[in-house]
């Protein structure tokens, strides 16, 4: 076989099947070299560009992650500071709540003592009165004996619970104290025996205290009390607690009662239709002591009511409610 000049063409035989004919395809030699080369170069280029793209994406992702991380760290720092601040406030509040609790305890103890004093004077027997009203006083004390150890449970819930409990205690005090003040005032009044209750149903004053024209003589005369008109048989009330000094009858006063009050004052009730107490008898404020009438030196049904202070009649009106 001689050396033929190198052919510019190459023949490709394509065998499809055993029974079919062989196809011959002639292609130029440079094309056979060029096509794979171009393909190879294209693939290489693609790989290089993909690598470049992925490294760029990775870099930007890393940058974003770093930025987010910095932001998160700033947020965490803020939160930690806020938590520290809140913890500090909580400690302060807990200390304050402990202080408040102690103060409320003191007030409650004073309230307890006041209630005991009131009970003692109200009944005149401290033992029975303490037994009579155990609810209020023992209830108050009980609430405070069960003091929680605030220091050992510094938590928001514990402090909230403390405040809720203290608020309830203060509310209970606000509810109880006015009633106690009323009781104390009532005791003071009964102890001092100052007459203050209006002694009749009717409030119609027909003659006031002081100088006036006498209804019988028509001459100037001193009226030592007030006249309150009313219906015969109307109840007459004791203006204050005291002792019946005199329950009697005289031509001028008619049926009359004099009550001696513990503070030194006397109240006089005249022209009564009926006397319902006896000399020496103790009366309470508001107790019915007789019936309104027109006995003695009287022109019609009325009560002559008089207050005597150190043996001198004084205007009763300022004493009456």
- Give residues in contact with Zn ion (CB under 5 A): 227, 304
Cβ proximity to Zn ion: between 237 and 269 the closer is: 269
Cβ proximity to Zn ion: between 50 and 317 the closer is: 317
CB of 265 to Zn ion, least distance (A): 18
Measured CA distances, 9 to 5, 12, 25, 31 (Å)? 11, 10, 10, 10
CB of 308 to Zn ion, least distance (A): 14
CB of 222 to Zn ion, least distance (A): 11
Nearest to 226 by CA among 198, 247, 246, 245: 198
Q: From CA 310, how far away is CA 77, in angstroms rounded?
A: 83
Burial 251-273 (b: 16+ CB within 10 A, else e): eebbbbbbbbbeeebbbbbbbbb
Cβ proximity to Zn ion: between 193 and 301 the closer is: 301
Cβ proximity to Zn ion: between 111 and 227 the closer is: 227
Cβ proximity to Zn ion: between 242 and 316 the closer is: 316
CB of 186 to Zn ion, least distance (A): 30
CB of 185 to Zn ion, least distance (A): 31
The residue of the chain with the least Cβ separation from Zn ion equals 304
Q: From CA 297, how far away is CA 253, in angstroms rounded?
A: 6
Measured CA distances, 317 to 2, 13, 193 (Å)? 163, 145, 16
């Amino acid at each position: 076989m001689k050396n033929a000049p190198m052919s510019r063409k190459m023949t490709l035989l394509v065998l499809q099947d055993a029974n079919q004919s062989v196809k011959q395809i002639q292609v130029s030699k440079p094309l056979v070299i060029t096509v794979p080369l171009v393909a190879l170069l294209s693939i290489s280029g693609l790989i290089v560009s993909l690598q470049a793209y992925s490294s760029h994406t990775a870099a930007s992702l890393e940058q974003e992650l770093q930025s987010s991380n910095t932001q998160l760290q700033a947020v965490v720092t803020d939160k930690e500071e806020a938590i520290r601040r809140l913890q500090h406030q909580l400690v302060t509040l807990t200390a304050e709540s402990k202080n408040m609790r102690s103060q409320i305890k003191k007030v409650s103890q004073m309230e307890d003592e006041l209630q005991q004093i009131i009970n003692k004077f109200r009944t005149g027997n401290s033992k029975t009165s303490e037994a009579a009203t155990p609810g209020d006083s023992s209830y108050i004390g009980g609430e405070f004996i069960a003091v929680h150890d605030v220091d050992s449970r510094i938590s928001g819930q514990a402090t909230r619970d403390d405040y809720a409990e203290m608020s309830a205690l203060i509310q209970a005090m606000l509810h109880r104290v006015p009633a106690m003040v009323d009781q104390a005032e009532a005791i003071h009044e009964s102890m001092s025996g100052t007459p203050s209750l209006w002694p009749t149903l009717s409030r119609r004053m027909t003659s006031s205290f002081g100088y006036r024209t006498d209804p019988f003589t028509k001459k100037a005369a001193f009226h030592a009390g007030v006249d309150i008109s009313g219906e015969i048989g109307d109840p007459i009330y004791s203006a204050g607690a005291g002792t019946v000094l005199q329950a009697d009858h005289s031509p001028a006063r008619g049926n009359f009662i004099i009550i001696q009050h513990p503070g030194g004052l006397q109240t006089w009730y005249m022209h009564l239709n009926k006397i319902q107490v006896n000399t020496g008898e103790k009366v309470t404020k508001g107790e019915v002591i007789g019936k309104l009438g027109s006995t003695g030196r009287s022109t019609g049904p009325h009560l002559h009511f008089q207050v005597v202070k150190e043996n001198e009649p004084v205007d009763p009106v300022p004493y009456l409610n």
